[in-house]
Structure 1
């Protein structure tokens, strides 16, 4: 099984052992952080992830670290929050349930206005899917 995962990672050009390099500033998730960002007029991108989640790691390295995705997140002043569910945090579990999800990977865009619709992205990300979601009005 581990050999198969290594082959998959290698075929995707992803090293799962390499350290995470974030060009953008990601902060720890909390509902208060979402509310604070919205109160300041910022849309919020939340990465619900876990260290043991292979799909999460592949999505992060191949899509979330893509230069064009990072550029759009920065240009549109997204607040970036990472919800680490590695140890099954009950608050993160509640937040996942609030967007009709039961696990990771989950990617959620909260609009700048708290009354606006929340977008839940697909579990397996593509650059075009993320860029399309980011191009939607977030006010």
Structure 2
């Protein structure tokens, strides 16, 4: 039996898991209802919001390789980051409006919000774990009124 290697192997493995947009995992992903985002910013927690869909292969690559990277997980836990997943598998006008409001034009797209709910980073396309780590670092404001 031949061994699958490289990007083709990753795409095949990822494609096998397309039917589920999981919650939980190392970042404890939660679904994104509008009130969850408001609660996260009111509690003073930074947030990572991923816009995804079960049919989005590039989203699955990020979910299987980037968001589970030990450096990303360590940085997220260090700042008490709330990880939220906006599922656009089916049309969802409210989530689509939020995607556009944050500057997204399609999938893949993620945004990092600081502990006051302000956008500190927008990420689109295939990005690296290093890009996420650097986006998370400034997500906690230091001092000043809330």
TM-score by length of 1: 0.83
Deviations 1:32-89 (A, max 9, x none): 1111011111001101100000100001111001111111111110111000100021
In 2, are the aligned partners of 1:43 and 1:109 still within 8 Å (CA)? Answer: yes
* Corresponding pairs, count: 132
**After TM superposition, where is structure 1 displaced by more than 6 Å over at least 4 residues in a row?**
none
Partner secondary structure for residue 74 of structure 1: helix
Distance between the aligned counterparts of 1:107 and 1:14, measured in 2? Answer: 23
Pick which of 17-26 and 89-98 moved more: 17-26
**1:43 aligns to what?**
46
Which segments of 5 or more consecutive residues in structure 2 lack a partner in the other structure? 142-146
Distance between the aligned counterparts of 2:68 and 2:121, measured in 1? Answer: 20
**2:134 aligns to what?**
132
Distance 1:106 1:92, change over 3 A: same
**1:90 aligns to what?**
93
Partner secondary structure for residue 65 of structure 1: coil
For the aligned residue pairs, the C-alpha RMSD in angstroms reads 2.3
Pick which of 117-126 and 128-137 moved more: 117-126
In 1, are the aligned partners of 2:52 and 2:59 still within 8 Å (CA)? Answer: yes
How far residue 31 of structure 1 moved from its aligned partner, in angstroms, is 2.3
Distance between the aligned counterparts of 2:140 and 2:33, measured in 1? Answer: 20
Distance 1:137 1:49, change over 3 A: closer
